Amino acid sequence: MPRLAPKPLELAAPEREQLWQIVNLHRTPQQIALKARIILLPDEGYNHREIARALHISREMALLWRNRWLELSVKNLEVVQRLADAERLGDPMTLSLEQILQLFALACEKPEISGRPLSHWSVPELADEALFQGISR
């Protein structure tokens, strides 16, 4: 059975230079530096398996970031933007920072202060009290 060759990834000189700067910058978060290395290695001729071995990651991760880089390259995004994680799915946050802090304060106080005959908060009791106090809806 023939092997499928990975999509070619050829970096322009400015992209390669920016990626090396990201890798070598001491204040670069390690996840971003790792993604930059994942993109630099195919440019040097490494395949997914070799990248995975060299960087101690899964082959799937190497494939994911190579494909993501190629997809985002056509959108003319900056190098750093192409290395960012995709937005997570899910509902947007429904509580404000103030509500979260009020909820933490409530959870830290004893239930008897709120008139609850409990020794510790349970999740349902805490949620019920937050509703009662108008912290959340």
pLDDT of residue 20: 95
pLDDT of residue 38: 94
57 and 112 belong to one structural domain: no
Total domains in the chain come to: 2
| Per-block mean pLDDT, blocks of 10 residues, the chain (137 long) | 65 92 93 94 89 94 91 86 84 86 93 91 92 86
pLDDT of residue 3: 58
112 and 66 belong to one structural domain: no
Instruction: Specify the long-range contacts of residues 26-30, CB closer than 8 Å, at least 24 apart.
Output: none
Termini Cα distance of the chain: 59
pLDDT of residue 128: 92
pLDDT of residue 74: 84
51 and 25 belong to one structural domain: yes
pTM > 0.85? no
